[in-house]
Chains A and B, each alone.
Chain A
Amino acid sequence: MALLEIRKARREFITPEGGRLAALDGVDLDVAANEFVTLLGPSGCGKTTLLRSISGFETLDAGTIRLDGADLSALPPFRRPVNTVFQSYALFGHMTVARNVGYALEVRGEDRQARSRAVGEALEKVGLTGMGARKPSQLSGGQRQRVALARAIIGQPRILLLDEPLSALDRNLRQQMQIELKTLQHTLGIAFVFVTHDQEEALTMSDRIVVMRAGQIEQIGTPRTIYRQPKNRFVAEFIGETNLFSLTIDQIDAGLAHARTAEGLQLRLPAGGAKVGDKALAVLRPSDFTLSDQGIAATVTKAVYLGSDLYLFAQPAVGGPEIRVTARDSAQAPQVGAVVHLAYDPAAAHVLEAA
């Protein structure tokens, strides 16, 4: 039995125009103990509504949420054994850091000694030892983030909910916190449900990613599955940079399908169960291509310098959309206007289930 079981979750909002909008439209999700699950999707996809339904700040119109087999729906937020790290951190400005962190124990009525010991441990876990006497206003953004984290884990919740907690941090700090969060989750051994719209963040930290759109789950899988085998066009385009090819299969030969685009660009793909004449939508990531002596002839139209890599836009000679390619930067790297040949491993091409 999963730690958290969400079944047929449905939540509608009334739009200002008076219409109905399903923020959650039949969502099923299981979260295992000690799992790091990320809810990923564009804004308005329902990921925050789902998170707030778990914490109790939203009430489902239909469906159930069970924790350890017990239905949560009758419990108000303050009785649910889950805690949240809020996007705005929501630190109490009139309290010291130590009192913020110890708040869960304070309202539970634990005595001062037990509290201060637990606060010390929690602050140590997030690397803020000795900061207890300060006020939140005296801390940097990253430190506030850690206080919010310490405050949420001190009560040993069954699940920690994180609502885009890293979105306010600058890039370096964000990357550092991503790694620290993952490590913390591992040492604490509690399940994390993390909401973000940042696909890179999701890929870095998650055990499983839940891709959502318009109140529905598009795909659930490990970061590698989501990236390498997206189920449909939306997931393919939302996660990472993508080249999408709309193809018709010409010929099948030894497990390889030979296919061509409307413009006549020829590609080879894993055949799977496809038949000659079928339409197919294929995904090739920019890193799947290599610059070679033969392959797809194309002209470089743009070259973006990324440090160790170059990000090239190449226009195939036969026409059609530009192909995006990452190439190692070097002195021989192609310039804008150069003609290159793009090679790829046909096995790397992923054919979408739903074209």
Chain B
Amino acid sequence: MRNPIGWAALTAFSLGFFLFIYAPLLVIIGYSFNSNPVNMMIWEHFTLDWYRGLLGLAERVSDNNNRAAYIESTDQMFKALRISLTVAGCTTAISTVIGTATAIALSRYKFAAKGFYNGFLMLPMMMPDIVLGIGLLIFFVTIGMQLSLLTIIIGHCTFLTSYVFIIVQARIAGLDPALEEASADLGASEWLTLRKVLLPQLAPGILGGALLAFVISMDDLVITYFVAGTDSTTLPVFIFGMVRRGVKPEINAIATMMIVASVIIAALGLWLRSRKTD
């Protein structure tokens, strides 16, 4: 028996909850189409100018109107995006391989101090970003390493490996150990078992870990801020630089495009997962 009042309260609560979570995003998306260049809180009319300007498809509105230039050149933004994608791509590849290998090793082989390694791998995840960032910076300076793309990639790998490790480990924990035994029983060497049974079975976990690593790496500001060289500004650092001089309409457009990209990546991940798990 449903209690109508309770049911209505639950519905209201659920709606309120989702509104609370998504309202900020909706506001940004809305403002990104507002043509008012001065005060984006006041709706003028619908425009795609901010997007055109960002993508270099039109002369920038702000230049036209002879107002203050709001945004560094489109070229700079695309360069930052390219750097972010490079960093995220490399980081994802490296941390996925190391994280997966570590998870398999820790769950399938016996060796000393296993618990110690397990705990140790969690630590970078729980460490405050700012501490990790400062630590990395001091470390790179101490060993005399030039801050560059490479230092960002190393910095990201230090904590993203833990994320991949934890996700893949959870997947292994739910796996029937008899699967690998069955493979060995049917004549497959350890290598063949890894390739034909273990990795395909872990694929959803590995993929999930990789996507998470990619998204976090794309998004990271704090650690990147500390270890980025002058010539390696990532997209978050670039946006942060813009925002420091005031939130401009173009920012809303960038944010909206990033939201769309994230949704596409998440949807892709979910789709791949649903295909892989049987």
For residue A86, CB closer than 8 A to chain B, the reply is: yes
Interface stretch of the complex, out of A77-85, A117-125, A185-193: A77-85
Cross-chain contact of A90 among B178, B189, B278 (Cβ < 8 A): B178
Decide: A78 and B278 in contact? CB cutoff 8 A.
Answer: no
How many Å lie between the Cα of A94 and that of B200 in the bound state? Answer: 7
Question: Chain A, 27-47, contact with B by CB distance < 8 Å: what is the 0/1 string?
Answer: 000000000000000000000
When distances are taken between beta carbons in the complex, the residues of chain A under 8 Å from B196 are 92, 103, 106-107
- A93 in the interface (beta carbon within 8 A): yes
Q: Contact check, A86 vs B278: say whether CB atoms are below 8 A apart.
A: no
Which B184-222 residues sit within 8 Å CB-CB of chain A? 184-189, 192, 196-197, 200-201, 203
Q: Does A223 contact B (CB under 8 A)?
A: no
Whether A171 is near chain B, meaning CB under 8 Å from some CB there, is no
Q: Is the CB of B189 within 8 A of A78?
A: yes
* Minimum distance in angstroms from A118 CB to a CB of chain B: 13
* B178 A155 Cβ-Cβ under 8 A: no
Q: Which of A48-84 contact B (CB under 8 A)?
A: 55-57, 76-79, 82-84
CA distance A186 to B214 in the complex (A): 57
> Is B130's beta carbon under 8 Å from chain A?
no
Query: Contact: B276 with A94, CB < 8 Å?
Result: yes
Tell me whether A84 and B182 are in contact (CB under 8 A).
Answer: yes
A contact patch SS: mixed
- A86/B181 in contact, CB under 8 A: yes
Q: Give complex CA distance A90, B197 in Å.
A: 11
* Shortest distance between the CB of B40 and any CB in chain A (Å): 50
Find residues 17-60 in chain B having any chain A CB closer than 8 Å to their own CB.
Answer: none
* Complex CA–CA separation, A91 to B179 (angstroms): 7
Q: Is the Cβ of B278 less than 8 Å from the Cβ of A77? A: no
Residues of B within 8 A of A292 (CB): none
Tell me whether A88 is interfacial, beta carbon within 8 Å. yes
Which A residues between 145 and 200 are near B, CB-CB below 8 angstroms?
151-152, 155
- At the interface, yes or no: B176 with Cβ under 8 Å from chain A? yes
In A103-120, which residues have CB < 8 Å from any B CB? 103-104, 106-108
* Contact across chains for A84 and B185 when beta carbons are under 8 A apart: yes
A78 touches B184 (CB 8 A): yes
A88 and B186 contact, CB distance less than 8 A = no
| Interface presence of A137 (CB below 8 A) | yes
Instruction: Evaluate contact between B278 and A135: CB separation under 8 angstroms.
Output: yes
Contacts of A230 in B (CB 8 A): none
Q: Which residues of A contact B201 (CB under 8 A)?
A: 92-94
Which of chain B's residues have a CB closer than 8 A to the CB of A90? Answer: 176, 178-179, 181-182
Query: Quick check: A88 and B178 within 8 Å, CB to CB?
Result: yes
A136 within 8 Å of B (CB atoms): yes
Q: Once the chains bind, are B200 and A78 in contact (CB under 8 Å)?
A: no
Contact partner of A151 among B186, B188, B192, B278, CB < 8 A? B186
User: What 15 additional pairs, Cβ within 8 angstroms, besides A103-B188, A107-B183, A107-B187?
Assistant: A77-B181, A77-B185, A78-B186, A84-B182, A90-B182, A91-B182, A92-B200, A93-B201, A94-B200, A94-B276, A103-B183, A107-B196, A108-B187, A136-B278, A152-B186
9 A–B pairs (Cβ distance < 8 Å), ordered by A:
A57-B181, A77-B181, A78-B187, A92-B179, A92-B183, A94-B201, A107-B186, A108-B187, A151-B186
In the A-B complex, the 4 residue pairs with the smallest Cβ-Cβ separation, listed nearest first, are: A90-B178, A90-B182, A104-B186, A107-B188
